[in-house]
Amino acid sequence: MAPEIHLKKPYKGELVDLFASAIILFTMLAGHPPFNEAKPSDPYYKCIGGGKYETFWNAHARNKPDGFYSDDFRQLLSTMLALDPSKRYTLD
């Protein structure tokens, strides 16, 4: 679930769906989800929440071939997983 749902805040369905789509897309490519729970206690989620995207991607690329996650993929997913819904891409 998107962070705004966990926090029981008002949300826009399309932005929540975009966050969920990012998780599915990441899982399809990597073979595992980007984090276990959308909670600050999850180390990977904490990287995203703290804006430490490079740390997040480096950790996930450890056992993958060089270039496994392209720069375009990293940019797309980083924006789709933004904790602040207003910073996520729109469906347009």
Residue 91 to residue 40: CA distance in whole angstroms:
26
Please, which residues have CB within 8 angstroms of residue 74's CB and are 6 or more apart in sequence?
53, 57
Is there a contact between 41 and 32 (Cβ–Cβ < 8 Å)? no
Q: What is the pLDDT of residue 12?
A: 92
Q: What pLDDT sits at residue 7?
A: 83
Span 5-31, pLDDT tens digits: 888 899 999 999 999 999 999 999 999
* pLDDT per position as a tens digit, 29-77: 999 999 988 778 899 989 988 889 999 999 999 999 999 999 999 999 9
